[in-house]
Chains A and B, each alone.
Chain A
C-alpha cells in the first residue's frame, strides 16, 4: 500500500522557524517560542502544533483564563423529570442585591433554541415560570455572584416550586415522534420467501457519556456595544454564534465566540456549549461583568447530552450459503426531552442500519422519540454505533446457525465495487470493506485463533465447562475468545448537510509574508491545528511549519462549518486544497511562473496581502432526497474492521479485553501518528461502550453522575491496541481524505461482544456487557448446557430463533 502522507516522516521533525532568532543552547532545538528539546526528536510527521504548550502547562483551557472582576455563575435545575414550574421562591432573608438572578423573563430574544440550523427550536433556554419541565436537571434559573461563598448561599436561598406531571421514560411508550424514516429497496416479501432461514433479534443499547476530561466551561464578557464575547470549551464556534444572536437579540458583530483550548469533545461539545454560552451571557449582560460558568463533573454528567439509547430489531432472510436476501430493520432512538440533533443522528442510524452488506430486499424503518430524560445528542459515531452493533451481532448469530465462520459470512456479503445500497447509491469508488476485513483477520490470524477456542470447547475447557449451578465455580476460572466486526461510515454530513452550511475556507498570505489558514474548525485533541496547515502546505509546496493556523475566533475566521462528522480532514481539507491552489496560482502567475515556495515572501513584500477562498460545492452523484431517503447520502464511505481478544472470568462474568486490532480506511492518512491516535482512542471508547460504560437511570435521573460511579477504562483495563491504516482515496476531494475519527467507535463493540460469545457461548444483545449481564448469561447457559445448548444471556426477551 502506498502512503500519500503529504509530509514524509523524517528523523528530525522540526526546524526553527526562520522568523525567530536562533538564540538557544547549543545542543537544543527550538520547537515553540521559548521551548526547546535536546537533540533530535525521532518521530513520524510534524509534531502536534500545540503539543509543547500542552506538555508544559502553558496551554490555556477555559477555566485557566483570568478575567479580573469576573463573577461566578450557577444554574438552578429541576429535580423532577416532568413537572409544571410554579415558582422560583427567593428567601427574603438573603440579600439579593449582592447577586443577579436570571429567569426566562430576562431573555431578550428567542426563548427557545434549536441545536442547528434547519431544526425546529423546541428547547427552552430556561423554563419559564408556568412552563413545563421536561427533564431532570433542566435549567430553570441562573445566579451569578462575586464570589463562590455568596453564590453558594444564594443557591441555597432559591427554592423551586413545582407540580409533578406524569413522565414517559420508555421510548417504546412514547407517542411523540421527533422524526421518522422508511427506506424500502427491492421486494421484501419476495426476499423472505426465497430465504432458507429467517432470524429475528432485538438489540438494546443504553446512554453513553462522552466523558471529555475537561468539563463544559464558558466565560462571557460583556462588550461596550451591548454585545458579548464568549470564551469556551467548544467544537463549533459557528453554532454558538447564531445561538447568541437569536437568544440575546444581538447582531453578528455584537456576538463573538472564541474557542479556548478544549479538553476533549467527542460530540459532547457540539451543541451543548450554545446553551451554556447563552446562560453565561445572560448573566454577564445583567451584572455587567464577565461571568464564569465552569461545570463541576456531576453537573456535567447530570445535565449534558449523551449518546442516544436505542432499540433495534432485525428480521433477516438468508440463503443456506449465508447470502443475505432480505433485511427488515426497525430502529428506535431515545431522543430525550428535546429534539436537539436527534433528526440528524437518526439520519445516520438509518443509512447505516443494514451494515456494509449487499442485500437486494431491504426495509429500514426508524424513528427518534421523546422521553422525559435529558436530551441526547452527538457522540462520536453519531447514530452509527447503535446500528452497527445490532447488525454485526445479528450476522454472527446467522453465521452460527448456518455453520459458517463469522469471517466467511462477511466475505460473502460485504459490498464490492458497483454494489447498490438501500438508498440506491451505487458504490462506484473507494470501496474497501473486504480489504479492511482481510487485513484485520490476517493481523490476528483469525481462523487459527478460532480453531484454538473451538478446540478448548471440544476438550471441555471452554464455555461448555461452565458451572452447572449458579453458585458453583466452573472447572476453569476463565475462557478466552476472539471476535471480528466490520463497519462502514459515511463521509461527512448525511444528505444535504453540507449544502446547508456552504462552508468557506480562506488562506491568506499576509503583508509580512506569513501564510495562514483561516477556518472555524477546532482543535480538541484530534489534530485539526496540525493537519490543516499540512494540507495547505502540501498544496502550496512549502514546509508545513511555514503555515500558521489562525485562532478559532468568529471575529477572525470564516464559517468553515462545524467540527463534527469526521468532516474536517475530508471536507474542510478539500476546500483548503482548492483555496491554496488558487493562492498559489495567483502568486506564481504574477511572478513569472516561479514556484510559490521561492517567491511568496518577496511577493508579499511587493504586492501586500493576498487571500484566496473556496466554498463548498455539491459533490457529483445523485442528490439525496431527505424525505424519501433515496439517493447518495454521502459522497463516499469509509470502511473499518476490528478484531478483539477477550478473557472472560467465568466466576464473575468480568470481561478483560486483551487485544484489539483496528483497521481503518480513511481515504488517505494525513499524519500517521495523529491518525493512529484517533483509532486507538476511538477503539477504547468502543471497548468501554461494550463492557463497562453504563448510565443508570432512575425516574429520569442519572444515578451515576460522578467519576466514581460512571466508570471508563483505565490504563490497566485498556487492551493493547494496534491501528492499521488502509488508504482507499476518495476522488471527490483533491487530497483523497474521507474522515477517520468515528469509524473506530462504530466497530469496536460488536467485535468485543463476538469475542465474548466465542469465549462463553452466550449472546449479549444489550450493551454494555456488564459482569452482571455476562454472569446472568453464563448461569442461564449452565442450565441450558444440561440439555446440550447454550442459552441467551443478558436480556429478558429471547432474540428470536432460526
Chain B
C-alpha cells in the first residue's frame, strides 16, 4: 500500500492504495465517484476518461502511484457548485440542448475529452472536434449530436460574457 495524495475536482484526497491500482478503481470504488465508467479495461473505448493535469487520459490505464501530487477532474467536477445546487457548464448544457447523450454511458468520458478540447481553444470545426473525441466510442448517437453539442459549446464560449 502506498500513501497517495491528489486533488479531485478541486478537493484534496489522501488514501492508502496499492500503487498499481487503476485510477478508475480508485475513483469508483475508493472515492465513490461512479460517474467515471468502465467499458473495456484496455484503453479502447474512452468511457473511463478523466482529465489529469489538463490532459484527457483513460483512467483504466493509469496506476494510482502516478497520480500522487496531480490534479484530476472527473465528470462530477464539471458543473459549478452553488449553495442552491449545481449549474451545468456550457458543454453539459449543449449536450442537453442537442441530444448528445442517449444511453449516457459514454457521456462522462465524452464530456471530458471535449472539455479539454474546448479549454485548449478548440473551435467549432467539425473535423477537429471529431479528432478530439476519436478515443471515445459511442454506440448510440452516430456522433452527430455529440459533434453538434461540442460545436455549440465552442460557439457559446466564444461569445462575450453575458451575451
Binding site for B on A (CB under 8 A): 23-25, 28, 30-31, 33-38, 41-43, 47-48, 50-61, 63-64, 66, 210-215, 261-266, 296-297, 524-527, 673-674, 676-677, 680-685, 706-708, 712, 714-716, 718, 720-721, 723
Contact = CB atoms under 8 A, between A and B. Distances in A.
A36 B88 contact: yes
B96 interface: yes
Nearest to A687: B142
Given A56-B78, A681-B140, A214 B105 contact: yes
B142 A718 contact: yes
A41 B93 contact: yes
15 contacts: A28-B87, A36-B85, A37-B88, A54-B101, A54-B104, A58-B35, A63-B37, A66-B32, A214-B39, A263-B105, A676-B144, A681-B141, A683-B142, A715-B136, A723-B144
Interface of B: 28, 32-42, 44-45, 47, 74-76, 78-79, 82, 84-88, 92-93, 95-99, 101-108, 111, 126, 129-131, 133-147
A720 B145 CA distance: 11
A636 to B, nearest CB: 26
B130 A716 contact: yes
Contact of A708 (B33, B42, B84, B93): B42
B139 A712 contact: yes
Nearest to A297: B40
Given A57-B75, A215-B39, A715 B96 contact: no
A53 B135 CA distance: 23
Contacts of B111: 55
B137 A213 contact: yes
Contacts of B74: 57
Given A34-B85, A525-B102, A715-B133, A56 B79 contact: yes
B145 A677 contact: yes
A148 to B, nearest CB: 10
Given A213-B39, A714-B134, A718-B143, 4 more contacts: A53-B104, A59-B104, A680-B143, A707-B40
A31 B33 CA distance: 22
Contacts of B136: 715
A265 to B, nearest CB: 8
A213 B76 contact: no
A296 B22 CA distance: 15
A708 B76 CA distance: 28
Q: Could you say which of B82, B87, B98, B145 has the most chain A C-beta atoms within 10 Å of its C-beta?
A: B87
A213 B103 contact: yes
B37 A48 contact: no
A525 B103 contact: yes
Given A43-B97, A63-B38, A674-B99, A55 B137 contact: no
B130 to A, nearest CB: 4
A37 to B, nearest CB: 5
B106 A213 contact: yes
Contact of A264 (B32, B75, B103): B103
B84 A23 contact: yes
A40 to B, nearest CB: 10
A213 B138 contact: yes
A48 B105 contact: no
A700 B118 CA distance: 46
A716 B46 CA distance: 14
A56 B42 CA distance: 24
A714 B135 CA distance: 7
B135 to A, nearest CB: 8
B104 A261 contact: yes
Given A57-B36, A524-B103, A47 B96 contact: yes
Given A54-B104, A673-B99, A707-B40, A25 B82 contact: yes
B158 to A, nearest CB: 16
B162 to A, nearest CB: 10
A20 to B, nearest CB: 10
Given A55-B107, A57-B33, A43 B96 contact: yes
A61 B105 contact: yes
A53 B35 CA distance: 10
A677 B140 contact: yes
A265 B37 CA distance: 16
A43 B97 CA distance: 5
A51 B141 contact: no
A33 B86 CA distance: 9
Contact of A263 (B37, B41, B93, B145): B37
Contacts of A24: 84-85
Given A37-B88, A213-B105, A64 B34 contact: yes
A526 B139 CA distance: 12
B39 A48 contact: no
A211 B88 CA distance: 29
Q: Report the 6 A-B pairs with minimum CB-CB distance, sorted nearest first.
A: A57-B35, A525-B103, A263-B105, A54-B104, A525-B102, A684-B142
Contacts of B87: 25, 28, 35-38
Given A297-B40, A707-B40, A30 B85 contact: yes
A56 B44 contact: no
B145 A676 contact: yes
Contacts of B106: 213
Contacts of B33: 57
A50 B101 CA distance: 10
B69 to A, nearest CB: 24
A760 B143 CA distance: 28
Contacts of A682: 142
Contacts of A43: 96-99
A297 B139 CA distance: 15
Contact of A262 (B44, B82, B103): B103
A57 B45 CA distance: 17
Contact of A56 (B76, B84, B131, B142): B76
A720 B144 CA distance: 7
Contacts of A57: 33-36, 74-76, 108
A59 B40 CA distance: 19
B134 A715 contact: yes
Contact of A35 (B35, B79, B131, B137): B79
A214 B39 CA distance: 6
A36 B86 contact: yes
Contact of B96 (A48, A524, A683): A48
Contacts of B44: 706-708
B3 to A, nearest CB: 21
B140 A525 contact: yes
A263 B141 CA distance: 12
Contact of B102 (A677, A716, A718): A677
Determine which residue in B38, B42, B95, B101 has the highest number of CB atoms from chain A within 10 A of its CB, and name it: B101
A211 B97 CA distance: 26
A355 B126 CA distance: 36
A36 B136 CA distance: 26
A297 B41 contact: yes
B81 to A, nearest CB: 10
Contacts of A31: 88, 96
A674 B138 CA distance: 16
A628 B163 CA distance: 66
